[in-house]
Amino acid sequence: MAQCSGSTKKGDRCKRDARGESPFCTIHQDQEIHAREPSDRGEWDNDAIIKALIGFAIIGFFFMLRRR
């Protein structure tokens, strides 16, 4: 049997066996449905927040340099 392609809440690879026709185990079958959707809203939001924080950090860094 193949290993499940899903991931746990901790982000680790699922160690359960996948069900015959599906690459996911019974617990992670919902991840297969999400993977087929155009975009994962939760992940996109986290990505946008991280990019915004990096942007603010860079802007803050340049303001620090200009004050000297």
CB of 9 to Zn ion, least distance (A): 11
| Least separation in angstroms between CB 21 and Zn ion | 15
User: Nearer Cβ to Zn ion, position 9 or 27?
Assistant: 27
Query: Between 8 and 46, whose beta carbon lies closer to Zn ion?
Result: 8
Residues of this chain that bind Zn ion (CB under 5 A) = 4, 6, 14, 16, 25, 27-28
Q: Measured between alpha carbons, how far is 24 from 6 in angstroms, rounded to an integer?
A: 6
Question: Between vectors from CA 51 to CA 50 and to CA 54, what angle results, nearest 5°?
Answer: 85
d(CA 68, CA 54): 22
